[in-house]
Amino acid sequence: MSYSPLDIAATGQHPFTDYARWRLRVSEDGRHTWHYLNTDEECRAWPQTDLDKYWLGLPLNLPPLPEPEDALAAARNGYTFYKRLQAKDGHWPGEYGGPMFLLPGLVIGSYVTGMGFKMEEKLEMIRYLLNRTHPEDGGWGIHVEGHSTVFGTALNYCVMRILGVSADHPALVKARAVLHKLGGATGVPAWGKFWLSVLNVYDWEGNNPVTPELWLLPNALPFHPHRWWIHTRTVYIPMSYLFGIRYKMEENDLILSLRQELYPENYYHIDWPAQRNNVCKADLYAPHTRIFDFLYSLLGVYENCALPPARRAALDYCYKLIVQEDENTGYQTLGPVSKMMNLIVRAHVDGPESDAYKLHMEKRQDFMWVCTDGMMMCGTNGSQLWDIGFITQALVETGLAHEEENKESIVNALRWLDQCQIQQNPKYYESSFRHRTKGAWPFSTKTQGYTVSDCTGEGLKAVLYIQEHVESTPKLVSDQRIYDSVDLLLGMQNHDGGFASYELIRGPWWLEMLNPAEVFGKIMIEHSYPECTTSVITALSIFQKHYPQYRPADIRRVVERAVHFLHKSQMPEGGWFGSWGICFTYATQFALESLSLVGETYETSPYARKACNFLISKQRSDGGWGESYKSCELTAWVEHKQTQVVQTCWAVMALIYARYPDPEPIERAVRLVMSRQKPDGSWPQEAMEGVFNKNVTIAYPNFKFSFTIWMLGRAHRYLAELKASQTS
């Protein structure tokens, strides 16, 4: 059964909320918050825009555009539509859903700290979870497209109950059956054990130790937590604090009842220490290594004799790091998981009257997004910079940026990019082990404020494209600020020549053998990624064209080493493995863009040729490409059931970068992408586009505009060039 606002409107009933009353507010630096208007008067004063309607799934009722005669006209129609979704401040908001373990953090964290939700938010969260149950069995997975797991089902079950859904509701009866069939909540993976313990429906004794004292070890040790991947350590800090004090909510009727509902066996008879390494098979992605289990047993012994002064010092240190993180990020923190854990720590230590409590409460809103199916918790506070980076480059490269009717839109985009660049290092910089931020662009907003290598690369490219190529745009980002960003990028190359996500690789490779999360792969240290590497070196090369005098030798050296990294990381079949998008299609597009920089194309380079042949071998009879997220899990190409428009665009972009000589596959792909375009210029949403930690998909719904427009415009020009060269 699907619960859609349209059905509700059609039947005249409003068991959930009236979607005509939701509005997206875009404030400050691209901050997104959804608001529900209770009166008709408020609605008249703040009318719903196309932007609101689009993301809510309400009809825009647009007239059909002229049928496109060629690929460029299709791109133009695409942008005629997409321009309507540009916010007044110049960026393109969007939903950022996919993971199914984030709403539990929001709801459990709020519940245990006494932070409420508005009724309409509660209703829409319930509707979201009802819509996201697995179509076959009624459980929840780790992400929206995944199979049911204990992690997804146990946690979201608790969410539904906290939000007020009765245990007898048919959806919960079904979910409980799935959970019990999977063995019950005892086999929930580590992060699930943590949330359930905080809620007081799992005994802390059933958790492997999350020892805060690790933070007191000398920084020089190769396994010190400051060397871990930034998301892992930022989650670990509040997690170790809450573990260290065995934080748990006071018992109440709901908690007593959940203890019965979540387990097929008697809660009070469970052998908790025996559950520490009990992880349901359906959940397990990255099993512990033997050495790790051994270390855990040592830490377990330590837990029994931990010295109170050491524990106190460790907790104080973690608390200090938490405060610094909160203040560095405007109480948003790096991501949604640490956000809710920091919030609990601050509520516990600082109390409900404190500013920290209030600011944390308010900033929960930045992650809460109303989509067609209800209200979700997003993967970050948005993907603002990432989305604006691609569409602006697409507009410049296709020539659409030069068309008179798009001028205002592109100048607004530049204004947004200008305000988004981070111009200082964080307030707490060395003391909170941060990488420098001066000159960087973040993934979402300036307030969140974290350097990401490829976001800086794409942000820099977008600025250069607009400032250097679009006539009569103001030069908002000064040379000095551009140099800051180049300096930052030049300092982010790893020893292997590649670029990682937020920082340099800080820890040794073997730290991956100590991954505690069980459901995520490759999360202990940074790694070099072909995608990040490409964004950085393309940005540097484009910069060099416009500023040939600035550090040319450094740039040349960095690009050479990066190309070498790309050569080395090509898979034997010819593609590159993608870690942040699905999967080989995504990364191969980036890698071929890099190779094209140094003149490596189909005709001139065995790497590029092999990659093109690989992609061509995956083209389907309908002209498109379709790769499943399973490729990321299995590190091997897995076909998707349906052809995917966005992946088709990536594959064609890759072929164009490599100057693939045969026009036929490109023409067929263009036809496929055009055939999927709706008369109003938009494309329907298809499968998830993104992924992280190998095992979780995440949506980039704006890609279906940026990459289609980009590919169609470029293909139009490339095909014309090919024809011209064949006839001459």
Query: Any idea which residues carry the catalytic annotation?
Result: 454
Min dist. Cβ of residue 373 to ligand LAN (A): 19
Say if residues 335 and 236 touch (Cβ distance below 8 Å).
Answer: no
The DSSP letter of residue 509 is G
Tokens standing for residue 684: 């329907």
Task: Report the nearest approach of ligand LAN to the CB of residue 703 (Å).
Answer: 11
Q: What's the rounded Cα separation, in Å, for the pair 623 and 644?
A: 11
Give how far the C-alpha of residue 118 lies from the chain's centroid of Cα atoms, to the nearest Å.
26
Q: Which is nearer to ligand LAN, 255 or 489 (CB)?
A: 489
350: left (phi over 0), alpha (psi -120 to 50) or beta: alpha
Give the list of residues 6+ apart from residue 505 with CB closer than 8 angstroms, or none. 494, 495, 525, 526, 527, 528
What does the alpha-carbon distance between residue 693 and residue 524 come to, in Å, rounded to a whole number? Answer: 10
The set of residues, in sequence order, having a beta carbon less than 8 Å from that of 702 and lying 6+ positions away, is 92, 94, 383, 387, 390, 391
Closer residue to ligand LAN, CB minimum distance, 383 or 643: 383
Closer residue to ligand LAN in complex, CB, 372/448: 448
435: helix, strand or coil = coil
Closer of 200 and 644 to ligand LAN (Cβ): 644
* Alpha-carbon radius of gyration of the chain: 25
**Interaction site with ligand LAN (CB under 6 A):** 231, 235, 335-337, 379-380, 386, 443, 452, 454-455, 501, 520, 531-532, 580, 692-693, 698
CA distances, 464 to each of 15, 538, 546, 555 (Å): 50, 12, 8, 17
**Residue 474 C-beta: closest distance to ligand LAN, Å:** 28
Residue 336 or 574 with smaller CB distance to ligand LAN: 336
Which pairing describes strands 31-36 and 22-27: parallel, antiparallel, or unpaired? antiparallel
For ligand LAN, which is the closer residue by CB, 130 or 452? 452
Q: How near is the Cβ of 693 to ligand LAN at its closest, in Å?
A: 6
Contact indicator for 525, 460 with CB cutoff of 8 Å: no
* Shortest CB 484 distance to ligand LAN, Å: 20
**Element (DSSP H or E) covering residue 276:** none
Beta bridge partners of 504: none
Question: For residue 494, what are the CA distances in angstroms to 458, 485, 489, 503, 511?
Answer: 19, 17, 11, 9, 17
What sign for the dihedral angle of Cα 528, 534, 535, 540?
positive
Give yes or no for a contact between 619 and 665, defined as CB atoms under 8 angstroms apart: yes
| Closest CB to ligand LAN among residues 65, 500 | 500
Contact 692, 578 (CB under 8 A): no
Cα maximum dimension of the chain: 83
> Of 176, 152, 146, nearest to 280 (Cα)?
152
For residues 604 and 587, what is the distance between their CA atoms, to the nearest angstrom?
20
Which residue lies nearest ligand LAN, judged by its C-beta? 692
How far apart are the C-alpha atoms of 412 and 484, rounded to whole Å?
23
The pair of structure tokens assigned to 310 is 């050491």
Among all chains, which residue has been given the structure tokens 């979780």? 696
- Whichever of 176 and 193 has its CB closer to ligand LAN, that residue is 193
- Tokens read off for 345: 């720590």
What's at 727, amino acid-wise?
T
Nearest distance, CB of residue 390 and ligand LAN, angstroms: 11
DSSP state of 436: P
Tokens 């539904």, residue? 160
Report the nearest approach of ligand LAN to the CB of residue 98 (Å).
8
Specify the residue, 149 or 605, whose C-beta has the smaller distance to ligand LAN: 149
| Cα(626)–Cα(611) distance, integer angstroms | 17
By C-beta, is 484 or 531 nearer to ligand LAN?
A: 531
Which of residues 452 and 542 has its CB atom nearest to ligand LAN in the complex? 452
Q: Give the length of the chain.
A: 728
Q: Is 572 exposed, middle or buried (0-12, 13-18, 19+ CB in 10 A)?
A: exposed
What is the Cα 17 distance to its own chain's centre?
27
Closest residue by Cα to residue 198 from 4, 342, 25, 306: 342
CB of 592 to ligand LAN, least distance (A): 17
Q: Least distance (Å) from ligand LAN to the CB of residue 335? A: 4
Nearer to ligand LAN, 129 or 699 (CB): 699
CB of 343 to ligand LAN, least distance (A): 15
Of 703, 643, 670, 669, nearest to 72 by C-alpha is: 670
